[in-house]
Copies of this chain bind each other. A is one copy, B any other.
Amino acid sequence: MSQKDRQFRPVAVPAVKLSGFWGKWQDAVSETTAEILLDRCEAAGMIKAIDVGQPSPGIVIPIGPWGGSTQMFWDSDLGKSIETIAYSLYRKPNPQLEARADAIIDLYEKLQDEDGYLNAWFQRVQPDRRWTNLRDHHELYCAGHLMEAAVAYFQATGKRKLLDILCRFADYMITVFGHGEGQIPGYCGHEEIELALVKLARVTGERKYLDLSKFFIDERGTEPHFFTEEAHRDGRDVADFHQKTYEYGQAHQPVREQRKVVGHAVRAMYLYSGMADIATEYRDDSLTEALEALWDDLTTKQMYITGGIGPAAANEGFTDYFDLPNDTAYAETCASVGLVFWANRMLGRGPNRRYADIMEQALYNGALPGLARDGKTFFYENPLESTGKHHRWTWHHCPCCPPNIARLVTSIGSYMYAVADDEIAVHLYGESSLRCELVNGADVTLRQVSNYPWEGAVGLEIGLKKPARFALSLRIPEWAAGATLSINGGMLDLETIMTDGYARIERDWQDGDRVALYLPLALRPQFANPRVRQDVGRVALMRGPLVYCVETTDNGADLNAIVVPRDLPSGETVALPGLNGAIAVDLDVEREGTEDWGNGLYRNSRASRKPSKIRLIPYHLWDNREPGEMLVWMQAG
């Protein structure tokens, strides 16, 4: 089998046990966030909304100027919350929480129509509007999130009820969508169902779900345009389309022709995720070609250094190339979660650090900031500079981000490892243990011992009932200059075994074999392409995969007066027990004088500079202490 024909699929969440860095975050979600999600969904009226034993709640959140209500998304919020609970239950049994989830699933069972249809809004609030506005009404989007929940809940608890409900719904969709007589040749304005159907197919082994996913992907953006025809049938004017364009939902071109990342950021990420899954499952090179171009477009012209994407609030999405304002960055948590999804699926056709490095960058710096350290509050927007007025909130009228980051954190194991027939890829590092079975029957345990990302030493121990031949592919991040690798104490020559940024070790493994990887975590300066006008003359600092920032609580006010020296000192690392044991870096810098400036606002001479010291903390931990200013891109001396 050629390299290109390999198919890597993420391992199931229960296959990985986490401790260390991610273990702590998973505890925060399992012990706090998971329950909060249900409480807040319940308080919002979401559970009442699906309970056929109670009167329909009607329109609780008014119809907005876009012709819909965010209440239409409630099924997705419940879906993502159940998915989070599923992963949490695996980590830590919680009978009470499981009972609450079971009760919701029972309600969905009662709600489901005879034909398999399931949607709280279109069954209970606007039953006459079913399948009338796929572009705007998130109908299949909601179905997709319930489908992901069903797969997760089945994997975590072994309970099939929700899975069966969603299979019935998917079977019904297969009759509804298509080019046959009376069928709808359409797709959802907000992508999600595509990647969900792939999960359903993988867990059930049913190819028909893959085919439906591929149908939605193949149809998107073709002419005659479904959104146009649908609007005409529904008596709506195309000129009144929410956000005007077809680009908003990436439906402006057939997906295989798309080369530019446009529109709503979360939608784009979910679409590309589905495309990548289908490319993997069907070994579809035409999709892969489009995906690679889109990947370059996003990561070389439209991505914050945090892996945040979608700078504008107006369309929750993309604007012009190199337009990356720091203080007004939208950079929705969900969009970075979506980028992690996409990157992970780009690894389906083989390990490649081009994708995995960005997956890690977006995970730590784009997605994770969305969750407070205590698991109780959430960021929707993730600016890279704050004057002190941006803080996490407890809930949102469109609460998409809280369960999205929560389900990512609790399922992170499946992003760390992927398995092909005879190969295990380690995409992410962190204290954990994988158990998986290979095609040749080998039952492998892979234990990572590491304080990553705080320290760069990663120990891997192989557990085997009997010796087995397979390849172990370890990502060597592009930033890790000077990385070293040894097996059972013997150094390997990394250069000779590198493929696409992974050290690929194919050998006969013995039980107890030990691999030692060392990734140097020196503080390193990062500069932006000078076409990013907001970052010229500025420098960001990274350590390993983590973007660092300064906050007022450590460094006082007027953070923009800090000047990072041209010759970057190495800094001094300090562990902060109050921040999950995070490694801070204390650095000698200069600081412009704001006190001795004088009276005028402007003057002929520069500000004076004097030596100063700053403390940098990982960006994902900002706004977890006293509120104040925050800054990522500092003045470069």
Please report A residues at the B interface, Cβ cutoff 8 Å.
296, 299-301, 303, 305, 320, 323, 328, 385, 387, 524-533, 536-538, 540, 558-561, 563, 592-594, 597, 599-607, 635-636
Provide the residues of chain B in CB contact with A323, threshold 8 Å: 387
Q: Which residue of B lies closest to A600 (CB)?
A: B300
Report whether A529 and B594 are in contact in the complex, using a CB–CB cutoff of 8 Å.
yes
Report whether B537 and A605 are in contact in the complex, using a CB–CB cutoff of 8 Å.
no
Q: Which residue of B lies closest to A607 (CB)?
A: B530
Contact of A531 among B305, B537, B594, B599 (CB under 8 A): B594
Provide the residues of chain B in CB contact with A606, threshold 8 Å: 527, 636
Q: Which residue of B lies closest to A534 (CB)?
A: B560
Shortest Cβ distance from residue A419 to the other chain B in the assembled complex, whole angstroms: 30
Provide the residues of chain B in CB contact with A597, threshold 8 Å: 529-531
Report whether B593 and A530 are in contact in the complex, using a CB–CB cutoff of 8 Å.
yes
Shortest Cβ distance from residue A611 to the other chain B in the assembled complex, whole angstroms: 16
Contact of A602 among B320, B526, B561, B601 (CB under 8 A): B526
Report whether A537 and B635 are in contact in the complex, using a CB–CB cutoff of 8 Å.
yes
Shortest Cβ distance from residue A265 to the other chain B in the assembled complex, whole angstroms: 16
Shortest Cβ distance from residue A298 to the other chain B in the assembled complex, whole angstroms: 10
Contact of A603 among B387, B526, B531, B558 (CB under 8 A): B526
Q: Which residue of B lies closest to A557 (CB)?
A: B531
Q: Which residue of B lies closest to A361 (CB)?
A: B602
Report whether B600 and A527 are in contact in the complex, using a CB–CB cutoff of 8 Å.
no
Provide the residues of chain B in CB contact with A537, threshold 8 Å: 537-538, 563, 635-636
Contact of A530 among B300, B303, B532, B594 (CB under 8 A): B594
Report whether A602 and B527 are in contact in the complex, using a CB–CB cutoff of 8 Å.
yes
Report whether A300 and B592 are in contact in the complex, using a CB–CB cutoff of 8 Å.
no
Provide the residues of chain B in CB contact with A526, threshold 8 Å: 602-604
Separation of A527 and B608 alpha carbons in the complex (Å) = 11
Separation of A305 and B603 alpha carbons in the complex (Å) = 10
Q: Which 10 A-B pairs have the closest CB atoms?
A: A533-B560, A530-B592, A530-B561, A537-B537, A536-B560, A530-B607, A537-B635, A526-B602, A529-B597, A300-B601
Report whether A602 and B305 are in contact in the complex, using a CB–CB cutoff of 8 Å.
yes
Q: How many copies does the complex hold?
A: 2
Q: Which residue of B lies closest to A298 (CB)?
A: B601
Shortest Cβ distance from residue A610 to the other chain B in the assembled complex, whole angstroms: 12
Provide the residues of chain B in CB contact with A531, threshold 8 Å: 558, 561, 594, 597
Separation of A109 and B592 alpha carbons in the complex (Å) = 62
Separation of A560 and B533 alpha carbons in the complex (Å) = 5
Q: Which residue of B lies closest to A325 (CB)?
A: B327
Shortest Cβ distance from residue A241 to the other chain B in the assembled complex, whole angstroms: 22
Report whether A607 and B527 are in contact in the complex, using a CB–CB cutoff of 8 Å.
yes
Separation of A262 and B247 alpha carbons in the complex (Å) = 41
Separation of A75 and B286 alpha carbons in the complex (Å) = 64
Shortest Cβ distance from residue A506 to the other chain B in the assembled complex, whole angstroms: 30
Provide the residues of chain B in CB contact with A635, threshold 8 Å: 536-537
Report whether B387 and A320 are in contact in the complex, using a CB–CB cutoff of 8 Å.
yes
17 A-B pairs (CB sep. < 8 Å): A296-B599, A300-B599, A300-B601, A305-B601, A328-B328, A385-B533, A525-B604, A526-B602, A527-B603, A527-B605, A527-B607, A529-B600, A529-B601, A530-B607, A531-B558, A533-B559, A537-B538
Report whether A528 and B593 are in contact in the complex, using a CB–CB cutoff of 8 Å.
no
Report whether B561 and A601 are in contact in the complex, using a CB–CB cutoff of 8 Å.
no
Separation of A561 and B561 alpha carbons in the complex (Å) = 21
Separation of A602 and B387 alpha carbons in the complex (Å) = 24
Provide the residues of chain B in CB contact with A540, threshold 8 Å: 602
Shortest Cβ distance from residue A562 to the other chain B in the assembled complex, whole angstroms: 9
Provide the residues of chain B in CB contact with A524, threshold 8 Å: 604
Separation of A636 and B528 alpha carbons in the complex (Å) = 17
Shortest Cβ distance from residue A596 to the other chain B in the assembled complex, whole angstroms: 10
Shortest Cβ distance from residue A557 to the other chain B in the assembled complex, whole angstroms: 8
Shortest Cβ distance from residue A326 to the other chain B in the assembled complex, whole angstroms: 10
Separation of A387 and B312 alpha carbons in the complex (Å) = 15
Separation of A529 and B593 alpha carbons in the complex (Å) = 9
Shortest Cβ distance from residue A555 to the other chain B in the assembled complex, whole angstroms: 14
Provide the residues of chain B in CB contact with A600, threshold 8 Å: 300, 529
Provide the residues of chain B in CB contact with A538, threshold 8 Å: 537
Shortest Cβ distance from residue A256 to the other chain B in the assembled complex, whole angstroms: 23
Separation of A526 and B604 alpha carbons in the complex (Å) = 5
Provide the residues of chain B in CB contact with A296, threshold 8 Å: 599
Separation of A454 and B579 alpha carbons in the complex (Å) = 60
Report whether A527 and B604 are in contact in the complex, using a CB–CB cutoff of 8 Å.
yes
Most chain B Cβ neighbours within 10 Å, of A300, A538, A563: A300
Separation of A532 and B559 alpha carbons in the complex (Å) = 11
Separation of A299 and B603 alpha carbons in the complex (Å) = 12
Provide the residues of chain B in CB contact with A563, threshold 8 Å: 537
Provide the residues of chain B in CB contact with A605, threshold 8 Å: 527
Separation of A635 and B536 alpha carbons in the complex (Å) = 7
Report whether A528 and B300 are in contact in the complex, using a CB–CB cutoff of 8 Å.
no
Given contacts A527-B607, A604-B525, contact A592 B303 (CB under 8 A): no
